[in-house]
Chain A
Amino acid sequence: MNNSSIELPAKINRLPAPPKSGRWIMPGLGLFQGLMVAGRNMVESYYKKERMTTIQYPEQRAPISPNFRNFPFLCYDKEPVAGLRCTACSICENECPPKCIYIVLDRDENGKSLKRPKVFDIDISVCMNCGICAEVCPFDSIYMDGEYELSNDDRFGGLLLGLDRLSKSAEYHMQLRPEEATAVLARRKADEEKKAAAQAAKEAKAKADKEAKEKAAAEAQAATEQKGDSV
């Protein structure tokens, strides 16, 4: 170890003696000042609310900060499990560093994807609260939760959260982190409107095309009829 940067003192320093100002200060005065501070602390603790910062936990709870991020949950808009935003795309499953997410895609009898999870498990005994799943989700489905009372006497089953315990409403998300949830909802609404508009435009175009086709066909028929007439 290189101690060359530290200069050793020639002798152990003593703090300078009290100033010889000629004014004699009563020794022990500091003790009384200290006692007054402690006494004021005690007396004021009985009537000043801001002094008593203790939150008596099981009965009282501190409000959770929007920045509080615990284990993930899945967001739904209307109905609990069936209405999840999740499409079982498995991006979070792949990105999860400790691999605590397990997803099985739901399929119909023909083997066609129903774009929803059949199984969605998060093992919170493995999860390390990194929040990468929430970051990578393109469907605004997975977010970090604010719940912290997750202790359980079942070491395995109790800490493996399934779809029923994971799915929470958009209102819950709104309560938990209003700013983020509002932005997400606005974006989703805009997306939906855009989609609807695109759909409408497509339909309109299809209709127009159809009409045009019909018109053309009608015109063609009329033309042949005219021809026939003329013939």
Chain B
Amino acid sequence: MIFTPVQSASFPQVTLETLPLLPKTLVEFLLGWVGAPEWLVYVAGFIATAGTVVGVFLGAFALLSLVERKTLARIQNRLGPNRAGWFGILQPVADGIKMLTKEDIVPAKAEWLLHLAAPVLIVVPPILALGVIPYGREWTPVPMELGLLFFFATGTLTEIAVFMAGWASGSKFPMLGAMRAISQMVSYELPLVISALGVIMVTGSLSLPDIVGKQAGFHLGFIPAWNLFTPWGLSAGIIFYIASIAEANRCPFDLPEGESEIVAGHMTEYSGFKYALFFMGEYLGLFAIAGLGITLFLGGWQAPLPGLGFVPSWIWFFAKLAVVIMSYLWIRGTFPRVRIDQLMRFAWLCMIPMALVTIPAAGIWTLLRANGHGAFAWLVTVPLLVFPWIVLTIIYNRRLAPATRKYTFAE
């Protein structure tokens, strides 16, 4: 057996900035030290990288499942889970044990293989998508040239998993939920991708680290040069935000699993750990889409104020992630679920036209700023975005507003 020992077997220096890379460097160092072949070091390094991402986000998933319940409880003036451990900190552990020890029921009419494969498959796309997001200056698990394309391509896999779950359960509610989920996800994928196009135009790259790098610096010395603080970026960011809520199947767009209407949608026939996997997939998807939104519009790991560069960059990313996730919780605690016709109408008649308007706005913005007409760019793009919006909302309110039905017999 031929060993090709790695030459530089000195332990790499670890700073706070490169702390998330520690598992990878440690594994590579140890394997190099014992003289493992180069391909093994390479593969093990990637496994360690993936393990770091999965570990971090599974921890975040456990934490979020508790924080969400606590936050919703506080919004409703309740206490929330506070029995397991100090302030309910062990609640995720208790939930996990409960989920693991529950009976796994497969309906007689289910196609067992698809029924088994769906919850496994639903966890895969978010983890794949999480791999390409730049979390820190040094920490991009998989630096990919076409990262954004990869993100959207893997994100669509979720729809297949959801439909698999709905179809394989052999029952009515899962089928209805899956059909709702497909129609919703397909409808909201469009504004999501279109609103990201402006960012691609301005950056000129599909690589997510490049997109973050382009947002470095500050306007006027204190306003971060994030895409959100441009006219087209604000518009696209809002559209991306709304569409991301719908993509993550969260309230007020949680129609696919609307408890009061179709039990639990595609998850109706699942129990035990398969059900937990659906939740895991949903939350990981939430992290992924929020992380992408931060990367595209909120400057990724860039610090929000000048002079804060000494804080490790990945801390900024996770702070922004926490803020965005909290805003999701806030919205969930506030709004009631929309109706399916309202949802579709909103997507096709409001979101997509507005998302389309951001593309020329971004183009004009780039062109004028490249030629040194910064103020002129503002003058052109702001009316270009505001005018269609006002016209659209007037039309939306007057003629195309969802029919507000009056229930004559209820009075």
Chain A residues within 8 Å of B, Cβ to Cβ:
6, 8-9, 12-15, 17-18, 24, 26-27, 31, 34-35, 37-39, 41-42, 45-46, 51-54, 56
- Partner pick for A13 among B330, B390, B406, CB 8 A cutoff: B406
Residues in chain B near residue A24, CB distance under 8 A: 390, 394
Is B406 a contact partner of A34 (Cβ separation < 8 A)?
Answer: no
Shortest beta-carbon distance from A129 to chain B in Å:
31
Nearest residue (CB) in B for A9 is: B408
> Interface residues of B: mostly helix, strand, loop or mixed?
helix
Alpha-carbon separation in the docked complex, A52 to B404 (Å): 35
Nearest residue (CB) in B for A51 is: B77
Alpha-carbon separation in the docked complex, A111 to B401 (Å): 89
Alpha-carbon separation in the docked complex, A38 to B71 (Å): 11
A-B contact pairs, 30 of them (CB 8 A): A12-B405, A13-B405, A14-B403, A14-B404, A14-B405, A15-B406, A17-B397, A17-B401, A18-B398, A24-B390, A24-B394, A26-B393, A27-B396, A27-B397, A34-B334, A34-B335, A35-B330, A35-B334, A38-B75, A38-B333, A41-B76, A41-B77, A42-B71, A42-B75, A42-B330, A42-B333, A51-B77, A52-B78, A52-B79, A54-B79
Alpha-carbon separation in the docked complex, A51 to B73 (Å): 12
Alpha-carbon separation in the docked complex, A31 to B331 (Å): 9
Flag whether B172 is at the interface (Cβ < 8 A): no
Residues in chain B near residue A37, CB distance under 8 A: 334
Shortest beta-carbon distance from A30 to chain B in Å:
10
Residues in chain A near residue B405, CB distance under 8 A: 12-14
Flag whether B74 is at the interface (Cβ < 8 A): yes
Alpha-carbon separation in the docked complex, A12 to B77 (Å): 39
Is A18 a contact partner of B74 (Cβ separation < 8 A)?
Answer: no
Residues in chain A near residue B408, CB distance under 8 A: 8-9, 12-13
Is A42 a contact partner of B74 (Cβ separation < 8 A)?
Answer: yes
- Given A9-B408, A12-B405, check contact A53 B77 (CB 8 Å): yes
Alpha-carbon separation in the docked complex, A46 to B404 (Å): 37
Flag whether B409 is at the interface (Cβ < 8 A): yes
Which 7 pairs from chain A and chain B are nearest by CB? A38-B334, A27-B393, A15-B404, A13-B406, A42-B74, A42-B75, A45-B74
Alpha-carbon separation in the docked complex, A82 to B231 (Å): 88
Is B397 a contact partner of A35 (Cβ separation < 8 A)?
Answer: no
Residues in chain B near residue A14, CB distance under 8 A: 403-406
Contact with A along B68-104 (1 / 0, CB 8 A): 0001001111110000000000000000000000000
Alpha-carbon separation in the docked complex, A34 to B76 (Å): 13
Is B393 a contact partner of A46 (Cβ separation < 8 A)?
Answer: no
- Given A15-B406, A35-B334, check contact A46 B397 (CB 8 Å): no
Nearest residue (CB) in B for A41 is: B75
Shortest beta-carbon distance from B368 to chain A in Å:
28
Is B406 a contact partner of A12 (Cβ separation < 8 A)?
Answer: yes
Is A6 a contact partner of B409 (Cβ separation < 8 A)?
Answer: yes
Residues in chain A near residue B331, CB distance under 8 A: 35
Residues in chain B near residue A17, CB distance under 8 A: 397-398, 401
Residues in chain B near residue A54, CB distance under 8 A: 78-79
Alpha-carbon separation in the docked complex, A54 to B406 (Å): 36
Shortest beta-carbon distance from A14 to chain B in Å:
6
Given A41-B77, A42-B333, 12 other A-B contacts at CB below 8 A? A8-B408, A9-B408, A12-B408, A13-B408, A17-B398, A17-B401, A37-B334, A41-B76, A42-B74, A45-B75, A46-B74, A53-B77
Is A41 a contact partner of B74 (Cβ separation < 8 A)?
Answer: yes
Alpha-carbon separation in the docked complex, A53 to B79 (Å): 9
Is A39 a contact partner of B330 (Cβ separation < 8 A)?
Answer: yes
Is B396 a contact partner of A38 (Cβ separation < 8 A)?
Answer: no
Most chain A beta carbons < 10 A, residue from B75, B390, B394:
B75
Nearest residue (CB) in B for A40 is: B75
Is B330 a contact partner of A38 (Cβ separation < 8 A)?
Answer: yes
Alpha-carbon separation in the docked complex, A7 to B403 (Å): 22
Residues in chain A near residue B71, CB distance under 8 A: 42
Is B334 a contact partner of A18 (Cβ separation < 8 A)?
Answer: no
Residues in chain A near residue B78, CB distance under 8 A: 52, 54
Shortest beta-carbon distance from B391 to chain A in Å:
11
Residues in chain B near residue A39, CB distance under 8 A: 330
Nearest residue (CB) in A for B392 is: A27
Alpha-carbon separation in the docked complex, A34 to B408 (Å): 27
Nearest residue (CB) in A for B252 is: A31
Is B398 a contact partner of A45 (Cβ separation < 8 A)?
Answer: no
Alpha-carbon separation in the docked complex, A38 to B6 (Å): 58
Alpha-carbon separation in the docked complex, A24 to B386 (Å): 13
Most chain B beta carbons < 10 A, residue from A13, A27, A37, A39:
A27
Interface residues of B in 142-187 (CB under 8 A from A): none
Shortest beta-carbon distance from B390 to chain A in Å:
7
Shortest beta-carbon distance from B336 to chain A in Å:
9
Is B330 a contact partner of A45 (Cβ separation < 8 A)?
Answer: no
Residues in chain B near residue A51, CB distance under 8 A: 77
Alpha-carbon separation in the docked complex, A12 to B409 (Å): 11
Nearest residue (CB) in B for A31 is: B335
Residues in chain A near residue B76, CB distance under 8 A: 41
Alpha-carbon separation in the docked complex, A39 to B405 (Å): 30
Interface residues of B in 312-353 (CB under 8 A from A): 330-331, 333-335
Is A18 a contact partner of B397 (Cβ separation < 8 A)?
Answer: yes
Residues in chain A near residue B394, CB distance under 8 A: 24
Shortest beta-carbon distance from B395 to chain A in Å:
11
Is B390 a contact partner of A56 (Cβ separation < 8 A)?
Answer: no
Shortest beta-carbon distance from A105 to chain B in Å:
51
Alpha-carbon separation in the docked complex, A210 to B296 (Å): 115
Alpha-carbon separation in the docked complex, A174 to B404 (Å): 58
Shortest beta-carbon distance from B346 to chain A in Å:
11
Alpha-carbon separation in the docked complex, A182 to B360 (Å): 85
Alpha-carbon separation in the docked complex, A31 to B390 (Å): 17
